[in-house]
């Protein structure tokens, strides 16, 4: 902290840099989490889109198999099946059970003027009122001979598909290529709703399918076909309420199916994702406009990034508030110190009173900060309890539980920080009539507190009892030994030796360990508030412990020295008064 910062009460530049970097990390974590969430959500959309496209392809391939089964049946009868035979075939095919979405399966015969009369005689022997309709000027006839189930499709029996361009073009293409083909958009005569549909053709030939186009045209007998209403096809494919996307389908610029209407229950006027897929099959090109719907939006939110951002901002605001209060406390301390006059005794007493007030202020400020910190921790625990069923569910997002645990971890960090500040503020306030400190008992107590074996912490001293501020001395030992335990890589190998040498009017203590040591370039800064040399795998530290040691020693007129190097352990040394400060003061008064 610079002199100017002390006098103005501004937050030191180092603390500003630390808080700024912390905020940058918070926003970086939020941005990274948000980006990852966006990628995952987009992948879910892509998966849903690909699934629907795959289902359409697979379902059409299954319908095609049914048509080729009909072709095999026709060719096994040399293209001349009777109505009862076709009904038996369709009944055994069980299209209602195995092919949902299909309207039926039938046969279309290809006729010329020469074969038309004999064909009518054969059909009228099965249905006396059979007629080919409607009339047209084409040179070929393509009447629908059979269609099962016939009940809902009765209006199609006898319909000559050659009368209409889309029906006729696809049928002839199927004949010439020998492949299954679908028509462009049509309205089925049996569809009372007059909604868009199409026909699906598979050709059959006399003596099997020829290799050459000319032979196919000469030997073609007709096609097995299936009529489809697109709406029923999609309902049979995958119900809308089971999908998180909506689709519309267009063929040659004509919309044949549309779920992007505002009247749809799951319609999202501003979809999170949208894509256009071209589906080229069976001689047609379908354009699929795929969009996410409200169900997709509801199941794909950005909860985790928001929790990280809010939690990080709250913690940073608390830390910044604490730093501001500490900076103001330092400013007040300097203001009081500047008023010291030549009357040293009077001004010293005033300064002591001022310091006491500041310590109380720091204590009160840190104590008051505990309330909102506990509130944040309690609220987070309540959220975890409320979400317990969700967090244990198989489809729960693990990022939410991780974010809540991160907030609780930061709350514990703030608790440790405020406790350290409270401990720091208590230094110099001795308890009345305090018993002397028994060094051997302290060693035993420290070993128990830090889980050390007796051989791991040793005392080398001719002095056993210390009268000078025993509470403060114990606090110094606790922080130094705790520091050794915290930063030792393998606690089982830790060795701590506490020595005491008696000098003229004080005791000189040393606390030595066999830990990793401290690089000389960091040895001065570790005694400052909130400074820590924590590495990535070391435990969290408040950076207050050694500041407590330094202040406690200096309050009693001593100085802390450090001897250490990397890999060679650490030795802290300091002076401590032999008797209580109040005893020294009494003796001084008597001498005066």
- Here the CATH number for the domain that contains residue 187 is 3.30.450.350
**Mean pLDDT for the stretch of residues 33-37:** 76
Bridge-based pairing state of the strands 457-461 and 496-502? parallel
> What is the value of pTM for the model shown?
0.51
10 Å CB burial of residue 73 (0-12, 13-18, 19+) is buried
| Domain co-membership, 481 together with 541 | yes
Query: Is 166 within the bounds of a domain?
Result: yes
CA distances from 323 to 366, 413, 543, 547 (A): 11, 15, 14, 16
Asked which of 377, 408, 426 is the last residue of a domain, the reply is 426
Between 52-66, 452-466, 526-540, 558-572, the lowest mean confidence (pLDDT) is in 526-540
Asked which of 426, 450, 480 is the last residue of a domain, the reply is 426
pLDDT class of 428 with cuts at 50, 70, 90: low
Residue 251 lies in domain: 38-51+237-299
pLDDT class of 587 with cuts at 50, 70, 90: very low
- In the prediction, which pLDDT does 548 show? 83
| Domain co-membership, 268 together with 336 | no
Question: What are the tens digits of pLDDT across the range 513-536?
Answer: 998 888 888 777 777 765 555 554
| Of residues 98 and 18, more confidently modeled | 98
How much of the chain, in percent, has pLDDT values that exceed 70?
80
| Domain co-membership, 323 together with 379 | yes
Q: What are the φ/ψ torsions at residue 27 (nearest 5 degrees)?
A: -70, -35
| Domain co-membership, 210 together with 91 | yes
Asked which of 260, 279, 299 is the last residue of a domain, the reply is 299
- Separation of alpha carbons 527 and 531, rounded Å: 7
Query: Is 537 within the bounds of a domain?
Result: yes
| Of residues 3 and 209, more confidently modeled | 209
Query: Is 350 within the bounds of a domain?
Result: yes
Give, for 253, the enclosing helix (H) or strand (E): none
One DSSP character per residue, 403-416 reads HHHHHHHHHHHHHH
One DSSP character per residue, 171-220 reads HHHHHHH-S-EE-SSEE-TT-TT--EEEEEEEEEETTS--SSHHHHHHHE
- Separation of alpha carbons 482 and 497, rounded Å: 13
CA distances from 568 to 183, 515, 516 (A): 86, 7, 6
Token readout for 495 is: 């060795």
| Domain co-membership, 112 together with 207 | yes
Query: Is 276 within the bounds of a domain?
Result: yes
Give, for 101, the enclosing helix (H) or strand (E): none
Query: Is 554 within the bounds of a domain?
Result: yes
- Separation of alpha carbons 180 and 175, rounded Å: 9
pLDDT class of 425 with cuts at 50, 70, 90: low
| Domain co-membership, 463 together with 545 | yes
249 φ/ψ sector (left φ>0, alpha ψ -120 to 50, else beta): beta
How many other CB atoms are there within 10 angstroms of residue 80's CB atom? 11
Query: Is 67 within the bounds of a domain?
Result: yes
Using the predicted structure, report yes or no on whether residue 23 has a pLDDT greater than 50: yes
| Domain co-membership, 363 together with 473 | no
DSSP state of 577: E
Place of tokens 């319909």: 159
| Domain co-membership, 440 together with 583 | yes
| Domain co-membership, 180 together with 275 | no
Buried b (16+ CB within 10 A) or exposed e, 390-428: eeeeeeebebbbebbebbeebbebbbebbebbbbbbbbb
Q: What are the φ/ψ torsions at residue 78 (nearest 5 degrees)?
A: 55, 35
3-class state of residue 270 by DSSP: coil
DSSP state of 160: B
pLDDT class of 30 with cuts at 50, 70, 90: confident
| Domain co-membership, 536 together with 468 | yes
| Of residues 93 and 552, more confidently modeled | 93
Using the predicted structure, report yes or no on whether residue 1 has a pLDDT greater than 80: no
| Domain co-membership, 462 together with 577 | yes
- In the prediction, which pLDDT does 106 show? 96
Q: What are the φ/ψ torsions at residue 104 (nearest 5 degrees)?
A: 165, 180
- Separation of alpha carbons 35 and 153, rounded Å: 54
Query: Is 229 within the bounds of a domain?
Result: no
What mean pLDDT, rounded, does the chain reach? 82
Please enumerate, as own/partner, the contacts of 529-538 that have beta carbons within 8 Å and a separation of 24 or more: 529/326, 529/424, 530/15, 530/18, 533/487, 538/486, 538/487
pLDDT class of 421 with cuts at 50, 70, 90: low
| Domain co-membership, 450 together with 582 | yes
Query: How many structural domains comprise the chain?
Result: 4
Question: What are the tens digits of pLDDT across the range 168-178?
Answer: 999 999 999 99
* Length reported for the chain: 592
Question: What are the tens digits of pLDDT across the range 266-321?
Answer: 889 999 999 999 999 999 999 999 999 988 888 877 666 677 778 778 887 877 77
| Of residues 44 and 430, more confidently modeled | 44
| Of residues 357 and 207, more confidently modeled | 207
pLDDT class of 484 with cuts at 50, 70, 90: confident
Question: What are the tens digits of pLDDT across the range 373-391?
Answer: 777 867 777 887 777 777 7
What CATH number has the domain bearing residue 490? 3.30.565.10
Nearest to 201 by CA among 222, 185, 230: 222
Query: Is 20 within the bounds of a domain?
Result: no
């Amino acid at each position: 902290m610079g002199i100017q910062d002390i006098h103005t009460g501004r937050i030191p530049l180092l603390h500003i840099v630390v808080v700024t970097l912390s905020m940058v990390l918070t926003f970086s974590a939020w941005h990274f989490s948000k980006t990852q969430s966006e990628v995952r959500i987009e992948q879910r959309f892509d998966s849903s889109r690909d699934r629907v496209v795959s289902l359409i392809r697979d379902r059409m391939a299954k319908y095609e198999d049914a048509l080729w089964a009909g072709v095999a049946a026709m060719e096994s009868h040399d293209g001349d099946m009777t109505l009862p035979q076709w009904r038996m075939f369709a009944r055994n095919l069980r299209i209602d059970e195995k092919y949902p979405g299909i309207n039926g399966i039938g046969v279309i015969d290809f006729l010329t003027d020469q074969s038309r009369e004999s064909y009518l005689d054969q059909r009228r022997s099965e249905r006396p009122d059979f007629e080919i309709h409607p009339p047209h000027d084409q040179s070929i006839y393509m009447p629908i001979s059979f269609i099962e189930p016939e009940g809902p499709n009765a209006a199609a029996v006898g319909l000559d598909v050659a009368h209409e361009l889309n029906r006729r073009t696809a049928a002839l293409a199927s004949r010439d290529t020998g492949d299954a083909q679908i028509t462009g958009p049509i309205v089925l005569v049996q569809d009372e709703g007059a909604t868009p549909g199409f026909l699906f053709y598979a050709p059959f030939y006399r003596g099997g399918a020829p290799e050459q186009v000319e032979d196919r045209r000469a030997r073609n007998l007709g096609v097995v076909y299936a009529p489809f209403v697109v709406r029923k096809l999609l309902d049979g494919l995958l119900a809308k309420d089971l999908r998180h996307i909506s689709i519309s389908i267009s063929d040659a610029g004509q919309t044949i199916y549309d779920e992007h209407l505002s009247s749809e229950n799951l319609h999202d006027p501003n979809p999170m994702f949208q894509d256009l897929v071209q589906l080229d099959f069976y001689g047609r090109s379908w354009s699929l406009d795929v969009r996410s719907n409200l169900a997709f939006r509801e199941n794909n939110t950005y909860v985790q990034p928001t929790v990280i951002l809010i939690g990080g901002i709250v913690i940073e605001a608390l830390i910044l508030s604490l730093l501001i209060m500490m900076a103001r406390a330092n400013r007040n301390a300097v203001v009081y110190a500047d008023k010291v006059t030549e009357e040293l005794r009077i001004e010293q007493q005033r300064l002591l009173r001022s310091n006491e007030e500041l310590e109380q202020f720091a204590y009160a400020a840190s104590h008051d900060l505990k309330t909102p910190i506990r509130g944040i921790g309690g609220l987070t625990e309540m959220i975890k309890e409320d979400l317990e069923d969700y967090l244990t569910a198989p489809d729960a997002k693990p990022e939410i539980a991780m974010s809540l645990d991160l907030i609780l971890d930061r709350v514990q960090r703030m608790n440790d920080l405020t406790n350290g500040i409270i401990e720091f503020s208590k230094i110099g306030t001795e308890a009345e009539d305090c018993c002397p400190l028994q060094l051997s008992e302290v060693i035993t107590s420290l070993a128990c507190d830090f889980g050390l074996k007796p051989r791991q912490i040793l005392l080398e001293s001719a002095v056993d009892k210390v009268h000078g501020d025993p509470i403060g001395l114990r606090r110094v030992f606790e922080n130094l030994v705790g520091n050794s335990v915290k930063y030792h890589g393998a606690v089982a190998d830790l060795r701590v030796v506490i020595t005491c040498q008696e000098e003229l009017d004080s005791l000189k203590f040393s606390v030595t360990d066999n830990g990793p040591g401290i690089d000389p370039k960091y040895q001065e800064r570790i005694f400052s508030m909130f400074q820590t040399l924590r590495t990535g795998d070391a435990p969290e530290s408040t950076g207050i412990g050694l500041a407590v040691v330094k202040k406690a020693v200096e309050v009693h007129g001593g100085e802390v020295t450090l001897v250490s190097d990397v890999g060679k352990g650490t030795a802290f040394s300091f002076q401590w008064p032999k008797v209580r400060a109040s005893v020294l003061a009494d003796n001084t008064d008597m001498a005066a």
